[in-house]
Amino acid sequence: MKKKVLVPLIVFLLGICFVGFIVYKTDIHEKEQRHTTAQLNASTYGERIKNEITHGIGITDTLKQVLISENGKFNQFDTIAKNLMSDSIESVQLAPDGVVTDIYPISGNEAGKIDLIHDKNRGKISRYARDNHTIITQGPFELKQSGYGVAVRNPVYLKDENGQEYFWGFTIVILHVPDIFSDTLNALSNFGYEYRLSKTDAPWSDTYKVVYQSDRQLTHPVSYKFTIGEENWRFEVTPKSGWENNTLIAEVGVIFAAIVILLSVLTRVWLVSKEHKNKFKILAHTDSLTDIYNRYGFDELAVKMIDKNPKSHFVAALLDIDDFKSINDIYGHAYGDNALKSLADNMKAFFPPDTLLGRNGGDEFCILLPNYTCEEAEELLQQFTRLPKTFSYMGKEYPFHISLGYAEYPTFASNRSQLMRCADTALYEIKLHGKNGCMAYRAGLSSGVRKQLGFALKDISEHLPGAFIIYRADKEDDELFYANHEFLHMTGYKNIDELFRLTKKSFRNLIREDEQKQIESSIWEQIDNGNENDYIHFHLRKADGTYLSVLDHGRIVESQQYGRVFYVLFMDWEDMHIHYSDKFSE
């Protein structure tokens, strides 16, 4: 129960940590991407703004070149200035000796005719431009006409008759803010950015003054700096939606959280399913009455144990309760079950922990002792057989006894099924000798027992007409179980032991060698196609090594003890031809 809750909880907590990590990394990556993109846009659009301001400065350079070429005279100023005008230019001016004398257009700009060198607000920066031969920009300042402007003053120097340079004055252009860079700012705004354009108050100052900015405040903006003349400009941008992509983060968080929840649920389902599967597997392998392995579970584990340690010794034992039918008849099946449970409990308490215990069915039980020989297991099994065993009935304890037969692997068997058959033979030998005992398998037990027990082979086959054998219906293990007297007489074997010895107890070895593959294939092809009653013609090996041409007729029978077996009737091929030829000749 704890595992079914704890493991999914751990998966969920680890998953949430993983989701947090993914969200964190996504957030960092998104911020980096946005910073990179914003920096690229700041550089690109900042450079465009610089070029647009530089274009305004170019107007002052044009005026400057006219003055230089005309040696300080400027004819047709209005005409030239008019041609230089654009929507982003507020006015064009000339200021000889720093005093503004010419303005285009004059309408609305009359107040601009001032002495720049000595003006309270413009004097210091104008003198700096004059003395340092540098272009200066000043502003923004409010225009009387509306909006804001930035003044660009370009100092002009000429030479006198002696070739000495002297300050002529300024060529000036008033740029209309933000018209001068409106296209750039509109494009940037459409891309989803807030912006701010600033410049230093003066060439000697580090304090920035905002030239123009968008409506909202900027949060942790990226910037691009450029220089015009000796003044520093700074263009800053930040995404309107901020540096975090909250929608993406939410989507990533929800998706991965859903995956984590799904994994947690699936883990829970898997654990519950596994638990149920284990329970069902245990139920499928366990005898519900005695709580030890059933026949299927015992056989499966016995095969695994032997296959895993093929060179080790194992002892297998089969046992049953003597006269168990009488217990059921006298006391009732409930008390018979009581005896079975008592026997199973005795087995679990008596044998070592690594012993494999099982119930074959009915009152028959099986034991597999790993790393034992028959000699080493003899005393242990004898003790268990003699151990007092009882069951309760009406408040009293009633004794019962068992018979036990055992055999050793690999001394008498090459696999589990053969080992259990040997133990079974030893068990029935005990039954023939009075029950309530324990016996090890030994060579020579099989034939006598097989004629009297198991399938009741002798009783059945001796009353069947013709030569008969019985063998295991298994492609890989076709073990001979029995042959009747007529078969032994027909094939010349002295007895069944000689038959078993010369054929190595294999039906395959009764078929002439060159026919073996064909005959076996033909038999199993008929079986697989559901035709169990067809006849097969082949040459049967006799005791002297010669072969007899026979016709066999087989039928598969299911046995609780041995599984599928063949009952096979043999007829002498030549005798049949002679017999039926005589019949037809009549």
Same domain, 143 and 101: yes
Q: Look at residue 246 and tell me if it is in a domain.
A: no
Domains contained in the chain, number:
3
> Cα(385)–Cα(42) distance, rounded to whole angstroms?
97
**Domain finish residue from 220, 239, 258:** 239
**Amino acid at residue number 130:** R
Same domain, 215 and 360: no
Q: How crowded is the C-beta side of 266, counted as CA atoms within 13 Å?
A: 6
> Cα(403)–Cα(335) distance, rounded to whole angstroms?
20
pLDDT of residue 551: 87
CB contact at 8 A, 445 and 429 = yes
The overall longest dimension of the chain from CA atoms, in Å, is 165
Q: Which two tokens stand for residue 190?
A: 């459409």
Conformation bin of residue 72: beta by default, left when phi > 0, alpha when psi is -120 to 50:
left
Is 502 in a helix, a strand, or coil?
helix
Q: Is the dihedral of CA 386, 387, 389, 395 positive or negative?
A: positive
Same domain, 229 and 99: yes
Among 184, 187, 157, CA closest to 169? 157
Residue spans of the chain under pLDDT 70: 1, 108-112, 278-283, 434, 446-465, 530-534, 559-562, 577-586
CA angle 433, 434, 437 (to 5 degrees): 90
Residue appearing with tokens 């069947």: 464
Same domain, 407 and 482: no
Give the N- to C-terminal CA distance of the chain in Å, as an integer: 86
Same domain, 301 and 398: yes
Q: Look at residue 389 and tell me if it is in a domain.
A: yes
Q: Is the dihedral of CA 521, 525, 531, 532 positive or negative?
A: positive
Same domain, 188 and 299: no
Q: Which two tokens stand for residue 231?
A: 């003044």
Q: Look at residue 252 and tell me if it is in a domain.
A: no
Among 569, 571, 537, 568, CA closest to 473? 568
> Cα(184)–Cα(259) distance, rounded to whole angstroms?
45
Same domain, 63 and 188: yes
Q: Look at residue 488 and tell me if it is in a domain.
A: yes
Same domain, 159 and 183: yes
By residue range, what is the domain housing residue 437?
A: 293-443
Is 177 in a helix, a strand, or coil?
strand
Same domain, 456 and 570: yes
Q: Look at residue 20 and tell me if it is in a domain.
A: no
E strand or H helix at 277: helix 246-285
pLDDT of residue 530: 63
Same domain, 435 and 458: no
pLDDT of residue 431: 80
- Whether residue 388 is preceded by a cis peptide bond, meaning omega within 30 degrees of 0, is no
pLDDT of residue 512: 93
CB contact at 8 A, 573 and 549 = yes
**Domain finish residue from 411, 443, 475:** 443
Q: Are strands 293-294 and 356-361 parallel, antiparallel or unpaired?
A: parallel
> Cα(422)–Cα(147) distance, rounded to whole angstroms?
114
Same domain, 60 and 191: yes
**Domain finish residue from 413, 443, 473:** 443
In the 3-class helix/strand/coil scheme, how is 357-368 assigned residue by residue? EEEEECCEEEEE
- Whether residue 352 is preceded by a cis peptide bond, meaning omega within 30 degrees of 0, is no
Among 133, 158, 144, 171, CA closest to 56? 171
CB contact at 8 A, 98 and 117 = yes
| CATH code, 145 | 3.30.450.20
> Cα(470)–Cα(555) distance, rounded to whole angstroms?
10
Total residue count of the chain as it appears in this document: 586
At 355-392, the pLDDT tens digits run 999 999 889 999 999 999 999 999 999 999 999 999 98
pLDDT of residue 452: 38
pTM above 0.85, yes or no: no
DSSP-assigned states of every residue in 45-89: HHHHHHHHHHHHHHHHHHHHHHHHHTTT--SSHHHHHHHH--TTE
* C-alpha to C-alpha distances, 153 to 101, 135, 219, nearest whole angstrom: 14, 6, 34
Same domain, 131 and 79: yes
> Cα(115)–Cα(386) distance, rounded to whole angstroms?
135
Residue appearing with tokens 């941008």: 237
> Cα(345)–Cα(339) distance, rounded to whole angstroms?
10
Helix axes 246-285, 295-308, angle to 10 degrees: 100
Q: Look at residue 93 and tell me if it is in a domain.
A: yes
Q: Look at residue 170 and tell me if it is in a domain.
A: yes
The residues that bridge with 239 in the sheet, in sequence order, are 193
| CATH code, 374 | 3.30.70.270
DSSP 8-state class, residue 118: T
> Cα(446)–Cα(426) distance, rounded to whole angstroms?
8
Is 557 in a helix, a strand, or coil?
strand
For residue 286, how many other CB atoms are within 10 A of its CB?
A: 18
Q: Look at residue 267 and tell me if it is in a domain.
A: no
> Cα(312)–Cα(333) distance, rounded to whole angstroms?
40
Among 214, 159, 176, 165, CA closest to 52? 176
Burial class of residue 152 in the structure, from the number of CB atoms within 10 Å of its CB (0-12 exposed, 13-18 middle, 19+ buried): buried
